Structure 1
Amino acid sequence: MNLSIKIFIALVLAVIVGLIAGEPALPFINWWIAPIGTIFINLIKMMIVPVVLCSLVVGMTSLGDTTKLGRIGIKTILLYLVTTAIAIIIGFSVAGLAHPGLGLQMTSDAVVKVKEAPSIMQVFVAMVPANPVASMAKADILPVIVFALFIGVGILKVGGERADILIKFFDACAEVSYKIIGIVMSFAPIGVFALLLPVVAKNGPSVLLPLISVIACVAVGCLIHAVAVYSTLAKVWGGHTPAQFFRGMSEAMLIAFTTCSSAAALPVNMKNSQEKLGVSRDVSSFVLPLGATINMDGTALYMGVCSLFIANVFGIDLTYGQMAMIVLTGTLASIGTAGVPGAGLIMLAMVLQSVNLPMEGLALVAGIDRVLDMFRTCLNITGDGAVAIVMDQEEKRYAKKQAA
């Protein structure tokens, strides 16, 4: 049986068992089953830094020159920003049709503490590691990416035999990392079941029903964005049918859905993009780690839905100007909050503040944030894969033009 099908069966079983068991079984689940999920997450996280570091160095050295890196980098960031803006607009459209929260009187005394978003200069400063080993220990991906790029540039500048030794070393490390990921992924169905069961048992239908309209809008919006935008990009640039694209992305999507972590899905996404979608290693080694940190299409879509939901609950009519401000703020904030824990709520807080919506609205969605996070993280990494296909084909076309 295909691994993706096994993972999906485990996901469905976790939902069924979680709903039947409910909250009374939560102590048993948290004590005996949840730790298995934690072990699985730790196994994946164990490989994030080795994969990012080794793959980026190999990718950088295989690019052959720094001008190619700059060309790919600028195109990648621009495409990520464009798809993020489209995601917010789709979120608005779905919420505008469904009107989540309209006529709903919800009160919440809960106070949600949201960390202040860093300034753009703080983000730039944090990108350059004072201690690369410390950044690797904390799994801060952006500083690791910068460090790996510098190693790659250094190897290219050295050249000759000494450079070849290092290239072979990092290439071997990358291959070993992929093999380990393959071993870890064979336990994915068990890990997914153990991760999802506590979430379903804890939240259950009673907690989710009052906010089911928000969950449905985010889920439908993510589905529309994945099919209309991502599979179209994969078809037009890569020649992949939607079925081929989603089949190639399925394992990474399911891991992202259950773990709510783009970083956790990154090693699987890199392996599958190369093996199942035909993306070259040099492109995937750069585009996917970058996307795991700054590409937040799912979070952007969630902001569009949640801002309209909060406006409806508090009886506020959003103007087109306010909606345009949300699109702009959300798109720029997707990079500004890169790699920050709780980035979804930080971005939502920034958006609410930019259009003067009540900050108390955060408390309404905070309770179901874990459920919403599953959909938005899944969409985030799907976007990474689609953009990797586009960039790979763009580079192949550029190479053909240069050869001609």
Structure 2
Amino acid sequence: MAEGPAVRGLAAETSALENPGSGYRDADAERMVAEPFKNSYRSPFERDRARVLHSSALRRLGAKTQVVAPDSDDFVRTRLTHSLEVAQVGRELGRVLGCDPDVVDTACLSHDLGHPPFGHNGEAALNELAHAIGGFEGNAQTLRLLTRLEPKVLDSDGGPAGLNLTRASLDAACKYPWLAADAPVVHGHRTSKFGVYTDDEPIFRWLREGAPEGHSCIEAQVMDLADDISYSVHDVEDAIVAGSFQLAELGDSDNRNRVIGYTQQWYLPHTEPAEIDAALERLEATEVWVRHSDGSRAAMGSLKNMTSQLIGRFCQSALDTTRAIYGSQPLTRFAADVVVPQETIIEIAVMKGLATTFVMTTDRRQPIYQHQQEVLHELVAILVASGDQHLETMFAADWRAAQNDAERLRVVIDQVASLTDVSALAWHRRLSTLVP
């Protein structure tokens, strides 16, 4: 990949930004690799959204775990349906704030592209396997995929440029705009989250030109909030429909304390249990709270109404607070931040804590998680030992171009991360019989 900007002859495309006073500059619509202008009826940001929507990486999310494996239930959400829901929430939230809806939509559709098979459990396994080469992080893998792995555009040297999205869209998809070494210290501890691998730093420096160091743009903040809101509510809906629990069970003090404990442990380590309990009480006091669902059409309708109303509650809270601070002008790029009241932050975290308590940490899930980790460990070992023999054509070419063992391991990690839950299991079964 080129070390610096290769942007020339972009006047034709950047002129497609319809409203020069919208808060976006021509530089926001630049691409790393210059492209000829193709039509006049789509803005550069609309083209970005279309590229992600038509990408193979987005299609693969249909067979990747959100919380529960996609093949376990016809109702359960996958990474793909989750991403579509995040895009709907984020697009509307961003539009009301004055962001370009297509920039936010692109970021929302992209935000989980880098997630490997088996959800966060798979991410933890690959991070362990890639420890010596800088680790594995789903958000950093998303940037790598958008700018290198997904086939669409080549640079002037014939190297991969991924989807070659505009600077604004790439930056909006960058949830953690820093390298692992530059990760911020929060409450005395350096966060393990980061948005770019060291060998992808050149494109990262390009897309962050002019950006405040370590500070995400408002479009990325909208994407992040839409993601939080969507999965906090929808994971609870999925768990209830799957029969994992009923909200009425919170009347039991042991269950309630477990939810408060997991919410604090996983999401709010510096929040007092009383504040978490108060947030839960506020949610329980809403008219839409469904304490019991029997699976009837009426009950399912009530449950769906609860999810819709809670999404609206959380979004409206953020909109009202942000507008009270910044006024009614369009808010784009680094002109403002999304402001979420603390009470709303805790309410969203409580919803996450419900799914954590009744789905992700149950004893019956642990053998499944263990098997998934074993599959990925063994699959990576087999592929490392067998060279380019079993890699897909594009990854085999990357393997042959690699200069050392570290680069070759990264290629294997890229290959395995691209697999779906189903294909990872199938590859493991097939290759385990071929390799001694």
TM-score (norm 2): 0.23
The structure richer in helix per residue is: 1
Relative contact order: is structure 1 or structure 2 higher (C-alpha 8 Å, sep ≥ 6)? 1
TM-score (norm 1): 0.24
